[in-house]
Amino acid sequence: MQIRSKTALITGSATGIGKAIALGLAREGANVVINYSRSREEAEATLAEVENCGGSGWIAQADVSDNDQVVRMVQASLGRFGRIDILVNNAGTTDFVPLEDLDGLLDAYWDRALGVNVKGMFHTSRACADELRKNKGCIINITSIAGFNGAGSSIAYAASKAAGISITKSFARVLAPDVRVNAIAPGIVITRWVDGQEEHIQKYSDKTPLGRPAYPEDVADMTIAIIRDGNFMTGQTIVVDGGWSLSSS
């Protein structure tokens, strides 16, 4: 897909992976919709960076777990840019609960993980579906290797990421042949989610063939590559973990 002059909606793009994707797409010449739920100041800072690199951006507040908010965001984005060609479902959340702490995994944590990570992905994909069909667009879902190995910050988080991989396959079927739908499953990524977990990061890096964890730009680069060059790929999940899954298998 030619990215220049296309419009991309990236959920959860005020910080971290979503921000890196927004900046990467802006550098490729896309208009970007920067979605946030609570991080207004960070979203404004990301918009400023988008504009500093010559891109055109716009901020849209919405909690993706709320379908009505998603629909309003999509309609407002269309009002601002006139089209949506690319959807990146990046918004995610978790509550850190050790896997063995079964009683500690409260229903509220399940509801939050499934609401944002699963229903949110469905809400935005559904809301953008007709527009993406019309424009022969594409969807990229940011999942996690936790969706394959059942590990991660909690059982609920891992289950939600496995569901995201399944949703990717379902939407690839439903929206074909007009829309390509793929996913990226990173390993540990250096964002504010892992602040203060230096020991865990080092342990992960030591077991990774490429010798380091991922940075947001690593995921952004793969996202852009799939959008730009993956013209005959759909329903796939690409692992971006520096080979960590090789050493753990």
Whether 138 contacts 86, CB under 8 Å: yes
DSSP label at 78? H
List 109, 157, 204, 215, catalytic entry: 157
Residue 109 known to be catalytic:
no
Exposure class string for 197-209: b at 16+ Cβ within 10 A, else e: eeeeeeebeeebe
Residue 218 CA neighbour count, 13 Å, CB half: 17
Strand partners, 184: 142, 238
Give me the active site residues, please: 157
